[in-house]
Structure formats: C-alpha cells, structure tokens
C-alpha cells in the first residue's frame, strides 16, 4: 500500500558533539556558529569543522551539526570509513554502544572517541501529525520506492516519528549516488 511521496535528503559526513568535546576542540566556552538550517527543526550545519583521524588516514573539514548533544556521534558512509581504516556499524542515531573509535582534531585540541562512529541507517523522519495521518508509528519499518530510469526500492527504512521531526527521508551519500539525482520516493508500509 503506497502512502505518500517524501523528499529524499542526502546526509553527508558530519558529527554531533557534547559541550565538553566542543570546549576541548575549540576552547572553553566556544559557541557553534550556525551556517545553514537543516530540515529537522532546531538543527543546523555550523561553520565549525574538524578533522577525523583513523588508523589509516584523515578526512579534513567535517562539519559539526548543532546544537550540542548529550553524546558524541560521527556519521559516515561506507566510502568515508575505508580511507580512515575504521569499520563503523550501521545504526540509528544515538545507538553507539560498541560503535567504531575515531579521533576528532580541532584547532584547540583533540578528542579520542573509543566509540561513536556509525554509518547512519536509512531512516524516515515523520512528524507526529504525518505519523497519525498515515498510520506510521515510531520504529515502524517501511519501503521507499524510487522511480525513474534508475529506480529501485530501499528496504529496511526505519521510521522515526515524533513532535520534533519534519517528514523527510535521510540516506547517506553512497545510497543517494545509487539513485542518480532522484529527489523523491514513495513510502510503502510493510
């Protein structure tokens, strides 16, 4: 049963940090400077960037998404993880137990995360209103049907329903590149 059409957003590499980590990376009391509002209410890409270091290499200039969170989290694609030499699990945001270690390098200091690097599981943010309207509950699994010449179906897309969400699909850039420029998908309830 097809339910509705949703905008696909590519989620590039980025990180979320705690207040303490921000202080270590940029100096005590430093505040993130918003550069661009994101689709999820209250979230923004900041002007601040850090380098990620792994056993095999470094990725320079990775954006911090604000505001600060109660945990540190680095979101990568599989293609990003290889040059770092790390093997992050595919997880939903916040599910960090046993995730991959990575070093954060800022202008004022470094933080060695013993865990925190993940490949974000594809997910559908759903506003509480849209969840009610379409009968989608938090943690429901849905299919995403992408049409066009390079059409495909993404299975195992987890719904994240809540009052702080706006309705958008988040796929990492490896997945977005597979659909070559398509910007919308149809949500199908399993």
Q: What is the pLDDT of residues 45-74, one digit of tens each?
A: 999 999 999 999 999 999 999 999 999 999
State whether 116 and 128 are in the same domain.
Answer: no
Q: Whose structure tokens read 């179906």?
A: 153
- The stretches of 53-172 forming alpha helices (DSSP H) are 78-84, 128-134
Check residue 1 and give its pLDDT: 64
Res. 186: pLDDT tops 90:
no
Q: pLDDT digit string (tens) for 67-99?
A: 999 999 999 999 999 999 999 999 999 999 999
| Pairing mode of beta strands 141-146, 110-120 | unpaired
Question: Does one domain contain both 99 and 179?
Answer: no
Looking at the structure, tell me whether residues 110 and 175 fall in a common domain: no
Q: Is residue 23 domain-shared with residue 110, that is, in the same domain?
A: yes
Give me the CATH number covering residue 162.
2.40.40.20
| Domains of the chain: total | 2
The pTM for the full model equals 0.92
Q: How many CA atoms lie within 13 A of 156 on its CB side?
A: 7
Q: Where are the alpha helices (DSSP H) in the chain?
A: 19-26, 78-84, 128-134, 173-178
> What residue numbers bound the domain in which 177 lies?
2-9+122-189
Rounded CA separation 147/144 (Å): 10
N-to-C CA span, the chain:
8
Q: Which of 67, 75, 69 is nearest to 34 (CA)?
A: 67
**What are the C-alpha distances in Å from 189 to residues 71, 86, 132, 158?**
32, 34, 14, 11
Domain boundary residue, one of 120, 139, 154: 120
Average pLDDT on 117-137 reads 96
Taking the CB of residue 114, how many other CB atoms lie within 10 A of it?
8
User: What is the token pair recorded at 185?
Assistant: 């998908």
Domain boundary among 96, 120, 144: 120
């Amino acid at each position: 049963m097809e339910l509705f059409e949703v905008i696909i957003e590519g989620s590039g590499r980025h990180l979320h940090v705690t207040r303490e980590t921000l202080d270590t990376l940029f100096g005590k009391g430093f505040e993130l400077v918003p550069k661009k509002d994101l689709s999820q209410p209250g979230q923004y890409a900041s002007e601040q960037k850090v380098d990620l270091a792994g056993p095999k290499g470094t990725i320079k200039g990775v954006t911090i998404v604000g505001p600060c969170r109660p945990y540190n989290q680095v979101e990568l694609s599989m293609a990003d993880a290889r040059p770092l030499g790390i093997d992050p699990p595919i997880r939903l945001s916040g599910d960090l137990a046993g995730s991959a270690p990575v070093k954060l390098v800022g202008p004022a200091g470094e933080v060695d995360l013993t865990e925190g690097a993940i490949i974000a599981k594809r997910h559908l943010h759903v506003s509480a209103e849209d969840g009610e309207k379409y009968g989608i509950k938090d943690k429901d699994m849905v299919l995403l049907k992408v049409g066009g010449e390079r059409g495909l179906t993404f299975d195992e897309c987890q719904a994240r329903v809540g009052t702080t969400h706006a309705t958008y699909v988040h796929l990492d850039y490896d997945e977005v590149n597979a659909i070559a420029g398509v910007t919308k998908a149809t949500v199908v309830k399993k």
